[in-house]
């Protein structure tokens, strides 16, 4: 266990840095560790055990045993639900400590960790706890003298690979439906943010999950991640991250024909019509792009504004963006923290340079903030053309591209001119326009007069290259169940 030196953290003095395999905390077989960095200070927080293919093999075998022969198999559905509610209760009891850990490792402002991420995590587990004893089949009137019914059985061992932008929330989205359905899991958290996953592992053991049901192996994508993808003992693989990584994973999962679900990137259009409540649209657009330092797969990074209100809208938005408070993420008034690491910082800065080079106008921001930590001033580009890199590529940072449009048919066509299809939003008081956008923009989620409204009950996922399958809601249970048809001759 590492000792925390961070002066602002008060609720807990030590945290877990080992791998969780078969209910035991252990070092990696190689003995290797890697440093996790505080993005606000660029200093190491702790050395974490670095899992690789050998540790993944042990974890998958533990998950396999727990699924095939362990007590989990015989645990009543209702008790699986109660266990998950216990986990949710424990998270709630430790909410301040967990929020601090997330902020320490990821850099997100404490008021977001505490008031957005953690409540959504708790809510997600409670939602899926309720599903555990409601996953049932049907009786089907087939031709002939037979009794035919379906059963929904857990798919088996689930490999889950998650990113660093919402570390705990991504765990809740993955563990919730998997554990409710009766699967066992091997989780590989992102190398940038392993700490909150390990603490959740401790709480899961306390909640009563039997050994091997939940395994956690921090490590790198090319080693631990790739080993999980290729392991023949894994039945189903769920991944959230970049499209390029998903292509590698799809190839890696092909040999064993794993079931896969992907939640990938986006370049979501956020469309503001002149008839909108402009103040609400300004606030919604601000949230839609700058939440979580712009590190959201559904960020509204292509802001289409109708020409007649464009200049007024940009002025109002720029005033708010300039007033955003950057700095120490542990300060309760901070609205924007650092980007997660040097690589993300460099990538975002290179897009800002491309924006300038290609002729977009930088209205505000566009530079590093301070001289320590990976902070970037919130940035707005106007005069953005559809073919510029900042209008096409996912930047995953606090960089907004404002694009002018004239009328609805044009904006629908331009909104759809992208390989992505994760989310979209429209701001208008005209119900006809709202429905036109909702039905014709090819995206998995459309928000009307709001942005980033998430609920554990509402499915989320992408059209086109933004994903395969859906997470959340009843739909996500399909990802973790196999349907079995049983036919019984009656005479």
Closest-CB residue for ligand ADP?
Answer: 221
Q: Which is nearer to ligand ADP, 75 or 193 (CB)?
A: 193
- 61-75 b/e with 16+ CB inside 10 Å = b? bbbbbbbeebebeeb
In 3D space, the residue among 392, 332, 330, 337 whose CA is nearest the CA of residue 360 turns out to be 392
C-alpha separations of 363 from 85, 230, 327, 384, 399 in Å: 48, 47, 21, 11, 11
Please enumerate in sequence order all residues whose Cβ is within 8 A of that of 126, keeping only pairs 6 or more positions apart, or say none.
Answer: 84, 85, 88, 456
Q: Which is nearer to ligand ADP, 84 or 297 (CB)?
A: 297
Q: Which is nearer to ligand ADP, 52 or 191 (CB)?
A: 191
Task: Point out the residues that are catalytic.
Answer: 263, 297
Contact (CB, 8 A) for 265 and 242: yes
Contact (CB, 8 A) for 208 and 83: yes
Give, for 304, the enclosing helix (H) or strand (E): strand 302-306
Q: Which is nearer to ligand ADP, 167 or 284 (CB)?
A: 167
C-alpha separations of 426 from 66, 214, 271, 273, 288 in Å: 47, 40, 5, 8, 12
Q: Which is nearer to ligand ADP, 117 or 211 (CB)?
A: 117
Q: Which is nearer to ligand ADP, 22 or 245 (CB)?
A: 245
Minimum distance from residue 194 beta carbon to ligand ADP (Å) = 9
Report the alpha-carbon distance of residue 266 to residue 282 in Å, rounded: 21
For the chain, how big is the Rg over CA atoms in Å? 23
Q: Which is nearer to ligand ADP, 161 or 318 (CB)?
A: 161
Give the 3-state secondary structure of residue 292: helix
Report the alpha-carbon distance of residue 37 to residue 104 in Å, rounded: 9
Minimum distance from residue 249 beta carbon to ligand ADP (Å) = 5
Minimum distance from residue 47 beta carbon to ligand ADP (Å) = 17
Minimum distance from residue 344 beta carbon to ligand ADP (Å) = 7
Minimum distance from residue 190 beta carbon to ligand ADP (Å) = 4
Interface residue list for ligand ADP (CB under 6 A): 161-163, 188, 190-191, 220-222, 225-226, 229, 241-242, 245, 248-249
Minimum distance from residue 409 beta carbon to ligand ADP (Å) = 35
Give the 3-state secondary structure of residue 365: coil
Please enumerate in sequence order all residues whose Cβ is within 8 A of that of 445, keeping only pairs 6 or more positions apart, or say none.
Answer: 298, 422, 423, 424, 460
Minimum distance from residue 78 beta carbon to ligand ADP (Å) = 33
- 3-class secondary structure per residue, 207-226: HCCCCCCEEECCECHHHHHH
Minimum distance from residue 192 beta carbon to ligand ADP (Å) = 7
Report the alpha-carbon distance of residue 25 to residue 47 in Å, rounded: 15
Contact (CB, 8 A) for 97 and 236: no
Report the alpha-carbon distance of residue 379 to residue 354 in Å, rounded: 13
Q: Which is nearer to ligand ADP, 229 or 400 (CB)?
A: 229
Please enumerate in sequence order all residues whose Cβ is within 8 A of that of 35, keeping only pairs 6 or more positions apart, or say none.
Answer: 44, 45, 46, 47, 48
């Amino acid at each position: 266990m590492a000792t925390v030196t961070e002066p602002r953290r008060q609720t807990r003095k030590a945290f877990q840095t080992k791998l969780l395999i078969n209910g035991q905390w252990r070092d990696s077989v190689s003995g290797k560790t890697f440093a996790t960095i505080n993005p606000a200070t660029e200093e190491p927080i702790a050395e974490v055990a670095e899992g690789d293919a050998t540790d993944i093999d042990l974890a998958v075998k533990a998950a396999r045993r727990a699924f095939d022969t362990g007590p989990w198999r015989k645990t009543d559905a209702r008790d699986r639900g109660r266990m998950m509610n216990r986990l949710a209760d424990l998270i709630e009891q430790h909410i301040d400590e967990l929020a601090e850990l997330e902020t320490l490792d990821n850099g997100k402002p404490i008021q977001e960790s505490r008031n957005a991420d953690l409540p959504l995590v708790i809510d997600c587990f409670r939602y899926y706890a309720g599903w555990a004893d409601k996953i049932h089949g049907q009786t089907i009137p087939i031709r002939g003298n037979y009794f035919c019914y379906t059963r929904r059985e857990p798919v088996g061992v689930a490999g889950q690979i998650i990113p660093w932008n919402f570390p705990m929330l991504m765990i809740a989205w993955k563990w919730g439906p998997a554990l409710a359905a009766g699967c066992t899991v091997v989780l590989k958290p992102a190398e940038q943010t392993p700490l909150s996953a390990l603490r959740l592992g401790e709480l899961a053991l306390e909640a009563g999950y039997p050994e091997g049901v939940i395994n956690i192996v921090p490590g790198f994508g090319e080693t631990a991640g790739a080993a999980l993808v290729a392991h023949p003992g894994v039945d189903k693989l769920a991944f959230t991250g970049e499209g390029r990584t998903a292509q590698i994973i799809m190839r890696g999962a092909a040999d064993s024909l794993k079931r896969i679900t992907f939640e990938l990137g986006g370049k979501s259009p956020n469309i503001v019509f002149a008839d909108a409540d402009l103040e609400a649209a300004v606030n919604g657009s601000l949230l839609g792009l700058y939440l979580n330092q712009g590190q959201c797969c559904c960020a509204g990074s292509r802001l289409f504004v109708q020409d007649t209100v464009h200049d007024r809208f940009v002025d109002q938005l720029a005033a708010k963006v300039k007033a955003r408070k950057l700095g120490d993420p542990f300060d309760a008034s901070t609205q924007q923290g650092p980007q997660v690491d040097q690589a993300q910082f460099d990538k975002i800065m290179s897009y800002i340079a491309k924006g300038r080079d290609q002729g977009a106008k930088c209205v505000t921001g566009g530079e590093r903030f301070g001289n320590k930590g990976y902070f970037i001033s919130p940035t707005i580009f106007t005069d953005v053309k559809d073919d510029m890199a900042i209008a096409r590529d996912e930047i995953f940072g606090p960089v907004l591209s404002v694009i002018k449009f004239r009328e609805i048919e044009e904006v629908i066509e331009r909104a759809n001119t992208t390989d992505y299809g994760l989310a979209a939003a429209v701001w208008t008081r005209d119900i006809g326009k709202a429905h036109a956008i909702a039905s014709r923009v090819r995206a998995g989620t459309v928000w009307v007069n709001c942005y980033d409204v998430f609920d554990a009950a509402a499915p989320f996922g992408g059209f086109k290259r933004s994903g395969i399958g859906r997470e959340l809601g009843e739909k996500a249970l399909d990802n973790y169940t196999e349907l079995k048809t049983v036919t019984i001759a009656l005479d």
